[in-house]
Structure 1
Amino acid sequence: MPAQTENDKAWQRYLDAQAIRFDQPFYAVNAVQLKELGGREPRLMAKFDTPEQLAAPLRNAGYTLLPVKNGEYVLIAGNAFALVPPCESIGVFNPLLPFPLYTAGRGSSEAQYIDQAYNIGLLHHFLGMDAADGLFQTIRGREYTSRFEFRFSGRSITVESVQIEVDAGYEGLQDIVLLEAKIGLPKHLNIRQVYYPFRHFSQLVPQKRVRNIFLAYDIPSTQYSLYEYIFPDVLDPTSAQVRQCANYRLQAPRRLNIHSLIDVRFQTTGTTAPQADDLNKIFELVTLVGSGVNRAPEVADYFVFDQRQSSYYREAAEYLGLIRHSRHEGYSLTESGMLLLTEPSQEKPLVLAKLIINSWIFVELIRRASKSRLFTFEDIDAVIGSLIHGGVPRYSGTTISRRGKTIKAWIAWLAQEIGCFAVEGDRVYLR
């Protein structure tokens, strides 16, 4: 059974105090009572970008939370998430620039990659516009909605003065373009994050077409995924459909051999094995630490994780030598962490590859493969199982396979993006 997040616990306290049994189609909820009875900040209790982040008591009952006024919500039966389907279209995009932008695409904040997509002409290309067409950034940040109505689960909902946040918005001669952005490509999108701004700006500027763009950027592969969502029934947010989508890479996968990646400056000696498959979240954690977020509860709140899960990403970042951790001072960046943050987007995969290849598990695997030029998945488990802590094996049983799953995920990324491995069944060949 998954560990409870702080949101799970807070919502259960609130539901128990209000004696909510989910036997009504909806319930009115206000922020003051959420904080008093749930014992947690309402902004955190209402934060969920994916179905997995929705508090377990709500998810299990088939309910979701919709803001209807500043500080007021409706807890209502229904699904507020839209599918982000796989997109088959992919190509390498050549930036339309008179000179390279060395300061673009650093860090892991959405705003940097939105600006990069605009500056290199990628956004214009996806929208079917010429780079010479006037498209000016006029919207970014938070504001309050106008009044509008819609239907949800067969009920009429009225929204007025709800705070929305637009990652970026642009105005052209005929269009308003609104962007919602994420690092990494999720499987679902909280449709409210697109629908509320769409309705607000459709009323604010009725003479122009509002286009809703979801932009996801995968840092390890330098790949953009763009989706345009439309609402065939403007009064029904659940009518959301993908009008078009495309994937764009900023560069083709590299083809480097193992020897070109071995670099003692990145070498680490570890006492742990990582359990964090998603490299984008490691990037995000490093960026968080660089911005001053340095405690486990803050990290867990940001990712909507339980603290144990957030510790896995902290351990992975430590394993790669990106952050250090002390009980009194919390998390802080190492020199490698600062390097990863400041490198241009196209160079980040190479830095990450060197960090992985020179980490202690990979050093041992490469040593084992020195004669045969290959190692096996059994070797991965053996290396992880060989780690001793306090005179006894640190990992055993299924823990070894869970940690090994992360190593296999990283190997798959290295094989695809860097070319230093080739995987055939349970064998990994050095290139």
Structure 2
Amino acid sequence: MNCAFASGILADFLEDEELLPTVNGRMSSEVFSFQIRNGRLNAPMNIDVANSQVEIDGGYEGIRQLALVEAKSFVADDFLVRQLYYPYRLWTGRISKKVTPVFLVYSNMIYHLYEYQFISPCDYNSLVLVKHKHYSLEPVDITLDAIINILHRAVLVPEPAIPFPQADSFERVVNLCELLNQGGKTQEDISHNYAFNPRQADYYANAARYLGLVIKDDNGEEVSFSLTAEGRRILSLRYKDRQLGLANAILCHKAFNEVLNLYLQYGQMPQRQEVVAIMKECNLYRVDAESTYYRRAATLISWVNWILGLQR
């Protein structure tokens, strides 16, 4: 987050060149009340808050506003609204300036910033997204020619004795590798970090193993995962080389390679049944049932779309 401030990313996103860091850390919420919808009863509930703990990752004040930033270094499908709402209520009660809730996610060398607004300050469920932007400190210009070059140069590897991936979000696979780059993690650590159940944690860890980026250690008491030398090498690269290195790790597997080739021939993604037919010719490990092929095909298509989405 300090880098996002020092580099001018926050100033650009908030359209305020006079930002200064002013508040952060833990503090008391003081006293306020709000309404929240009870999903089970489909009715509003009144909640009173008194001196609850609030933690602000970063508060940046400009001429017109105070931006309160909640920062994360992992990809998640959602977040706890409380992390934005309680700081928002605390500071709207203290100052007359506009208070702007901002959610920042840093993953795979990209800053993702989301500005939110509570339409009704006393309504917990009134949160709406105002805008969303991506930022990078490095050039991100990857062309289709660069992707085609990786495709043609990829050296196919034998299918490993590891389950074919069932992990549709490749962004999360990369983010998991970034987490492991900080040190080995247990299955429980991964589950906790991403709010996964153990099966989901296993799916994503095995997806990274399938690509040769992660190794698994089972000592009989607990299962842990860590990066391979190749995983560490790829994560040490600059943005463009890292993305193309990850694309190469995918395209070294025949099923992915052939589906991308077909996409380039057709100008669109092959139909699911055609993808499944390709998979059946690739000697995939422990994929037998037709329904399993179709579930895993969703991941294959998603990963190929991730590669194509690298184009800027």
Q: TM-score, normalised by structure 2?
A: 0.77
Q: Which residue of 1 aligns with 2:41?
A: none
Give 1:279 shift. 1.4
**Relative to structure 1, is the Cα distance of residues 404 and 233 closer, same or farther in structure 2, using a 3 angstrom cutoff?**
closer
Q: Which of 118, 123, 140 is the aligned partner of 2:5?
A: 118
User: Aligned letter for 1:254?
Assistant: T
Q: Is residue 2:198 matched to residue 1:307? A: yes
Q: For residues 172 and 388 of structure 1, do their structure 2 counterparts lie closer, same or farther at Cα, with a shift above 3 Å needed?
A: closer
How far did residue 381 of structure 1 move? 2.2
Q: Is contact 2:58–2:70 with CA below 8 Å preserved after alignment?
A: yes
**What are the within-5 Å matches in structure 2 for residues 186-335 of structure 1?**
186=77, 189-203=79-93, 205-216=94-105, 219=108, 222=110, 224=112, 226-242=113-129, 244-248=130-134, 250=136, 251-255=140-144, 256-261=146-151, 262=153, 269-271=159-161, 272-328=163-219, 330-335=224-229
- Asked if structure 2 preserves the Cα contact closer than 8 Å seen for 1:268 and 1:320, the reply is no
Q: Which runs of 5+ in 1 are unaligned?
A: 1-113, 420-431
Contact 2:21 2:61 in 1 (8 A): yes
- 8 Å CA contact 1:293, 1:299 repeated in 2: no
Q: Is the 8 A contact 2:164 2:284 kept in 1?
A: no
Give the deviation of 1:349 after TM superposition.
2.1
8 Å Cα contact 1:268/1:321 also seen in 2: no
Residues 273 and 384 of structure 1 are in contact (CA less than 8 Å); yes or no, is this contact kept in structure 2?
A: no
- The DSSP-based 3-state class of the residue aligned with 2:204 is helix
Partner residue in 2 for 1:59: none
Tell me what 1:353 maps to. Answer: 247
Q: Partner amino acid for 1:171?
A: E
The residue type paired with residue 30 of structure 2 is S
Q: Look up the equivalent residue of 1:145 and give its one-letter code.
A: S
Deviates more, 1:404-413 or 1:282-291: 282-291
TM-score by structure 1 length?
Answer: 0.58
> After superposition, where does 1:2-13 map in structure 2 within 5 Å?
none
How far apart are residue 260 of structure 1 and its match? Answer: 3.7
Helix, strand or coil: the match of 2:125? helix
CA-atom RMSD in angstroms = 3.4
What amino acid sits opposite 1:384 in the alignment? M
Separation (CA, whole Å) in 1 of partners of 2:157 and 2:111 = 28
Cα contact 2:166–2:207 (8 A) shared by 1: yes
What secondary structure is seen at the aligned counterpart in 2 of 1:331? strand
**Which residues in structure 2 correspond to 1:16-415 (within 5 Å)?**
114-130=1-17, 133=18, 135-153=19-37, 154-182=44-72, 183-184=74-75, 186=77, 189-203=79-93, 205-216=94-105, 219=108, 222=110, 224=112, 226-242=113-129, 244-248=130-134, 250=136, 251-255=140-144, 256-261=146-151, 262=153, 269-271=159-161, 272-328=163-219, 330-362=224-256, 365=258, 378=273, 380-385=275-280, 386-387=282-283, 394-415=287-308
**Segment of structure 1 superposing worse, 174-183 or 278-287:** 174-183
SS at 1:197 equivalent: helix
Change (3 A) 1:403 1:211: same
1:294–1:332: 8 Å Cα contact kept in structure 2? Answer: yes
Q: Counterpart of 1:67?
A: none
Identity %: 27
223 and 287 in structure 1: CA distance in 2 versus 1, 3 angstrom threshold: closer
Deviations 1:193-238 (A, max 9, x none): 21101112334x4254322123345649x473x4332334322222
Q: Is the 8 A contact 1:295 1:330 kept in 2?
A: yes
Aligned-pair distance for 1:175? 3.1
* Equivalent-residue separation in structure 2 for 1:315 and 1:121 (angstroms): 38
- What secondary structure is seen at the aligned counterpart in 2 of 1:387? coil
Q: Distance in 1 between matches of 2:7 and 2:207?
A: 33
- The 1-side partners of 2:288 and 2:85 are apart by 47
User: How far does residue 418 in structure 1 lie from its aligned partner after superposition?
Assistant: 4.3
State the 1:331 CA deviation. 0.9
**Judging changes above 3 Å, is the alpha-carbon distance between structure 1 residues 149 and 326 closer, same or farther for their aligned structure 2 residues?**
same
Name the stretch that deviates more: 343-352 or 396-405.
Answer: 343-352
Give the Cα–Cα distance (whole angstroms) in 1 for the partners of residues 49 and 64 of structure 2: 27
CA deviations on 1:292-323 (whole Å, 9 max, x unpaired) are: 45222221222222211211101100011110
Deviation string 1:87-116 (CA, Å, 9 cap, x unpaired) is: xxxxxxxxxxxxxxxxxxxxxxxxxxx444
